[in-house]
Structure 1
Amino acid sequence: MEHADLVVIGAGQSGLATAALAPRHGFTRILVLEGAEEPGGSWPRYYDSLTLFSPARYSSLPGMRFPGDPDRYPRRDEVVDYLRDYARRLPAGIRTSTAVTSVTRQDGIWSVRAEDGREFTARAVIAATGDYGTPCMPDVPGQADFGGRVLHAADYRSPDAFAGQRVVVVGGGNSAIQIAAELGPLADTTLATRRPIGWTPQRPLGRDLHWWLKHILLDIAPIRRLLEKVPVSVLDDGHDRTALDQHGVDRRDMFSHFTADGVVWADGTKEEVGAVLPLPDRIGRPGHQRRAAASGRSLHCDPGSRLRRHGVPAQLLLQNPARRRPGCQARPEANAYRSDRLNRNQEWWEAVASAWCSSLMLGVPPKPSGVR
């Protein structure tokens, strides 16, 4: 049995950022438990062509800038490499191939049990597993009778497997658009959405949108609840929209139900379909009854444990703060933890991780002196 001051469950960007900042709050021994064979969270399992819609300069974690051209839009593999490099520099022990199955608390000490029987104890625990392990599949009538393929974005890798097929991509966010655009040349593809696709220019007046959000201070404005009510919009520099037009990818109102060999569209038209790819606005949804996703499993917690669960959904993982929707909202005082060497995006990560460590956990030591 290993003991630590703090156990962080999940070695994705949320868990790694939290582990990086935990020493500032008095945690001297930190363990990060990751179910996969290497750090990086869900990123290695995202589809091959995934591209961030924020530039590299706004995709850094605390204390380490994203390498290369700061104005480029990193691909999935670049993010994976960055996160693994970041993990190697952490002042924390990282235990990979350690899928957590339960968390309990007794006499002020947390007990964390892994699938292989190992146990860890700690004064504080943060579940930073995110939602990727529990994909949210839309509940569409007739799906059980559908003879084609229904594949969530969590299981999609590349368009090659769909060559020559009739494919419907459900969703109107950036991931749905990216996937539909790359399916277009190989498959007869339609986007199915509940509302018209909203397009937001990625580089208004020659500057990336995130640059504007930073300079008008919207990236640190407390508007998370407001953003949750805003319809999903696609950030695009014109590339994806052009690709959809060039390859004949159209948009139709969401179909009403499945048939044995296809779908019935909102206007009553029946059509044979080979595959449907649901990509909801969020790749998953929070667990219920004190359960948190853990590498596709359920992490069971004592009902009275008050374990805090955090994560950042879907492709918002390393995006600008104004577009992130974390599992908690940083308190204003957390903004005191800043470094002149970090850009505003990194400062936001500090605020969130500081809130997790100092405001939301039980048994956390007092804030360092001099911090408001």
Structure 2
Amino acid sequence: MEHVPLAIIGAGQAGLATAHAANHNGVHPVVLEAAEHPGGSWPDYYDSLTLFSPARFSGLPGRAMPGDPDRYPLRDEVLDYLRDYASHLDADIRCGHRVERVEHTPKGFVLTTGDGVAVRARTVVAATGGFTRPHTPSLLGLDTFSGQVLHTAAYRSPDSFSGQRVIVVGGGNSGVQIAAELAEVAQVSLATRKPVAWANQRPLGRDIHWWFVRSGLDSAPLRRIWQNGPTLVNDDGRYRAAFATGNPDRRDMFTHLDGDKVTWSDGAVETIDTLLLATGYRPALDYLATTGALDDQGQPLHHGGLSTTVPGLGYVGLEFQRSFSSATLRGVGRDARHVLRRLQRRR
């Protein structure tokens, strides 16, 4: 069986940032990636996805994103950048190898892939992040709804929605962006439990991410404020303008579904064609199920990305892992350095 000092699971932004941090520590890691190419979840996002952070704040450590630093890159630009970034790493990136099981032994870890390859590693970083497993919320009547139910993970473009009545559930950046796009061909409502709060994308002429970095908020642990406050959506004015037309509109969350009908909180009932769930993702960590690293809901037991139950195991790319920006392109590098330093101290 092959022995390696560090195995990284996933070659998306989190895994690649971890490999870069490993190189700086003099470690040549093995990176196991389920897909046929590096890039993580980016190839699976909708066609028009545009970053809400400019290129200057969207690069991984050691390699800036090319082109105009003040532009807002599209999905395919990010994917090209990640694949180029991977090609410059001193890492053994093995694509087409989905890790199915990780065993924790007295001598480290044994990782087994779906194609039967086994690798023994002294330390492991799970970098499959929080954007792999689409989350379907508990909605009354969803199991009886006769229309189309689609998660944003399966949405690509508005082409097939022409003339439909569509409800987008979830008011984050992606939900708002997709709702505005769909409204060009369909009648769309954005259903949220909390109001949408528009955040000026360029206050005082500077992108909001510039202010986050300069103020220190970019690395602040703002989980409680973020979860309990209104849903913030970065906007340069175009999305507010779109919602001001009345299509799309924003409504309080509906009470239930029944057949092809939805009942709104004010008692109004209407027929809808498609329910599109912009309800986020959960970490895809099933391969750790037998290690004792996860709680009863499959969530990792960790502090700042270090497993609290399994020595030698770390995480990179989890939402709010250490800060507001932990699951973003600009935040994973900082967390990767932190996790690898701590893992080395514990060896």
2:264 paired with 1:265: yes
Q: CA deviation at 1:24?
A: 2.9
Q: CA deviation at 1:144?
A: 1.1
Distance change (3 Å), C-alpha of 1:213 and 1:74:
same
2:291 paired with 1:302: yes
Q: Output the amino acid matched with 1:35.
A: A
Q: CA deviation at 1:107?
A: 2.5
Q: Distance in 1 between matches of 2:228 and 2:327?
A: 15
Q: How does 1:2-81 map to 2 (within 5 A)?
A: 2-27=2-27, 29-81=28-80
TM-score calculated relative to the size of structure 2: 0.88
Contact 1:4 1:120 in 2 (8 A): yes
Cα deviations by residue, 1:149-177 (Å, 9 ceiling, x for unpaired):
11111111111111111100011111000
Q: In structure 2, list runs of 5 or more residues that go unmatched.
A: 294-308
Q: Distance in 2 between matches of 1:312 and 1:230?
A: 20
Q: Output the amino acid matched with 2:325.
A: R
SS for the counterpart of 1:176 is helix
Q: Output the amino acid matched with 1:356.
A: V
**Residue 311 of structure 1 corresponds to which residue in structure 2?**
317
Cα deviations by residue, 1:294-324 (Å, 9 ceiling, x for unpaired):
xxxx5534227724343245xx99xxx9642
Q: Distance in 2 between matches of 1:355 and 1:249?
A: 42
Q: Distance in 2 between matches of 1:121 and 1:82?
A: 30
Q: CA deviation at 1:326?
A: 4.6
Q: CA deviation at 1:67?
A: 0.6
Q: Distance in 2 between matches of 1:110 and 1:22?
A: 18
How many percent of aligned residue pairs carry the same amino acid?
Answer: 48
Contact 1:184 1:247 in 2 (8 A): no
How many corresponding residue pairs?
330
Contact 1:213 1:322 in 2 (8 A): no
RMSD after superposition: 2.4
Q: How does 1:96-135 map to 2 (within 5 A)?
A: 96-135=95-134
Cα deviations by residue, 1:256-283 (Å, 9 ceiling, x for unpaired):
1111112111111111000001112xx2
The runs of 4+ residues in structure 1 deviating greater than 6 Å are none
Q: Output the amino acid matched with 2:339.
A: W
TM-score calculated relative to the size of structure 1: 0.82
Cα deviations by residue, 1:24-65 (Å, 9 ceiling, x for unpaired):
3342x3111110110000001001111110100000101000
Q: CA deviation at 1:253?
A: 0.9
Q: Distance in 1 between matches of 2:33 and 2:5?
A: 17
Q: In structure 1, list runs of 5 or more residues that go unmatched.
A: 328-344, 368-372
**Which stretch shows the higher mean deviation, 244-253 or 159-168?**
244-253
SS for the counterpart of 1:130 is coil
